[in-house]
A and B are shown apart, each in its own frame.
Chain A
Amino acid sequence: MLAKKKKKANPEINASSMADIAFLLLIFFLVTTNIVEDKGVLVRLPQWSEEPPIDLTLNTRNVFTVLVNAQDQLLVRGEPVKIEDLKTRAKEFISNPGRREDLAESAKEAIISLKNDRGTHFKQYLAVYNELKAAYSELWNEEAKKRFRKDTIEECNKEQQNEIKRDIPFVLSEAEPTAFGEEK
C-alpha cells in the first residue's frame, strides 16, 4: 500500500515588500554616505643635498620673484601685488606677448622663484602656489588650443602634452623660508 502523501500547508511569508525596503535602504545610504576623497595640489619637492646650492646667476628678466611675508602680503618683482592679480601677472611674464624687455625672454627661460617667511600662513602659501600653477595650466590649455585644436591639455595625447610642457616648463624654485614671524 502506498503511503498517502500528507498535504502540508506551506507557510509563506509575503515578501513582496522586500524589494521596496531594500531599494529604500540602498538609496538612503547612497545619499547619506560621503566617501572622503583625497584631492589636492600635487607638488614635487626638490632633492635633498647637504651641499649648499650652486650660486646661479640668472638674467633678472627671466626670474619672477614672489615673496610672501609673515603678514601674508605679496611682493612680486619688488612691488606689492594682490593675490587676485598674481595669475595675470605670472601669465604675462611667462608668455610675454608684447616682447617686453623686462619680461621673460621665452617661456623656456622663465623661472618662478617663491619665497616665504616662517610666519606665512599655510593657506596663503597654498593660494599663491595654486595661482602660479593655474597660470601655467591656463597657458598650457591655450597652447593646446593653438597647436592641436583641443580645449584642454588633458585631451591631448601624451606626446602632445610632453611637447607643450617642454616648451612651457613649470620651473618653480623655492628658497628656504626666512625666520620672520615664527609661531608663538
Chain B
Amino acid sequence: MVVVKLRESNLKVKAVTPYATELTKLEKKSLVNTMYIGRPLSQFVNQYGTKPRLQLNDKIADLNEIPLFLERHKVKLPEGQRPGITTSMKIDGDVTMGFVSDVKTELRKAGQLKVNYSAKKRTERSGF
C-alpha cells in the first residue's frame, strides 16, 4: 500500500524504468540532476506527439536545452563538488536507442560524463 509518494517533478512522459541487477545507489541528492525520456502521456499527445521526448524539470524540452539545464544545476554547487555531478536518466524501457543516443551525444558534448541509467532491482521472479 502506497499512500504518500515523494516525487520531484510532474511527469509528462511515461518513464517506466527497466530492471537490472548491478545497481548503484545515488547518495548525494544535491549532486544529481534528473532527465526523463519516454513517450508523452496520453493527455499531452496533442501537444507533444507520440514520439519519445525528453523532459527536464517540469517541461518537455528539446535536445539543445540540455547544456543550459546542466549549467543551471552546476552553478548552484561549489567548485569542488562539480566533478561529482551525476545525471540520473530515467528512461522508459520501450524507448528505442536512437533518441537515447542523441541525448547521450549531447551529454558528452556538454562534458557531463557521469551518467546513471535508473533501474529497478530485478528479483528472480521478474526475469529479463
Chain A contacts to B: CB under 8 angstroms: 29, 31-48, 70, 83-84, 116-123, 125-127, 129-130, 133-134, 137, 176-177, 179, 181-183
Q: Is the interface of B mostly helix, strand, loop or mixed?
A: mixed
Count how many chain B residues have C-beta atoms less than 8 Å from C-beta atoms of the other chain.
53
In whole angstroms, what is the CA distance A177 to B89 when docked? 19
In whole angstroms, what is the CA distance A122 to B13 when docked? 15
Chain B contacts to A: CB under 8 angstroms: 1-8, 17-18, 20-26, 29, 32, 34, 51-52, 86, 88-89, 91-101, 104-105, 107-109, 111-121, 128
- Decide if B104 touches A126 in the complex (CB within 8 Å): no
- Decide if A39 touches B93 in the complex (CB within 8 Å): no
- Decide if B101 touches A177 in the complex (CB within 8 Å): yes
CB distance from B19 to the nearest CB of A (A): 8
- Decide if B96 touches A83 in the complex (CB within 8 Å): no
Contact status of A126 and B119, CB under 8 A, knowing A39-B26, A47-B113: yes
Instruction: Point out the residues of chain B lying under 8 angstroms from A32, CB to CB.
Output: 1-4
